[in-house]
Amino acid sequence: MINRIATVAVYVKDQQKAKAFWTEKAGFEVKAEHPMGPGMYWLEVAPPQAETCLVIYPEGMMEDVESKNASLVFDCENIQVTYTTMKQNGVVFKGEPKAMQWGTFVQFQDEDGHEFVLRQPS
């Protein structure tokens, strides 16, 4: 039986730029980094203590990459603190956190324009 999501892929033009975004701005850690070819790596990043990782995957190794999109929601305990910290680190958000009956949400973008959701469950 499946008991957790192990990884979710995000397709990027520049792995090192994406690695810097996730580790320096979003506060993630490198969980795995293995060579896959010249200048390309199997690169997993995640928040400290997380069970699920993002695979920062090079677009150059994908066919039809233009049709591939990530759809990810990240949970946090205090959305305002997380939002403020990430914004101070240079993360671009699409508005302010918005409370809804099922939680508080705000969208943000990475360096390649991928959109993600930050959520504090109700």
CATH number of the domain enclosing 93: 3.10.180.10
In terms of residue numbers, what domain contains 90?
Answer: 7-60+70-121
Tokens of 108: 């943000």
State which amino acid sits at residue 9: A
Please write the tens of the pLDDT for every residue from 74-85: 889 899 999 999
Q: How does residue 2 score in pLDDT terms, banded at 50, 70 and 90?
A: low
Number of domains within the chain = 1
Which position has the token pair 């010249």?
A: 38
pTM of the predicted structure, to 2 decimals: 0.76
| DSSP letter, residue 26 | S
Cα separation, 28 vs 20, in Å, equals 10
Query: Is 109 inside any structural domain?
Result: yes
Please write the tens of the pLDDT for every residue from 24-69: 999 999 999 998 888 888 999 999 999 899 999 888 777 776 766 6
Query: Is 26 inside any structural domain?
Result: yes
Residue 113: how many other CB atoms lie within 10 Å: 7
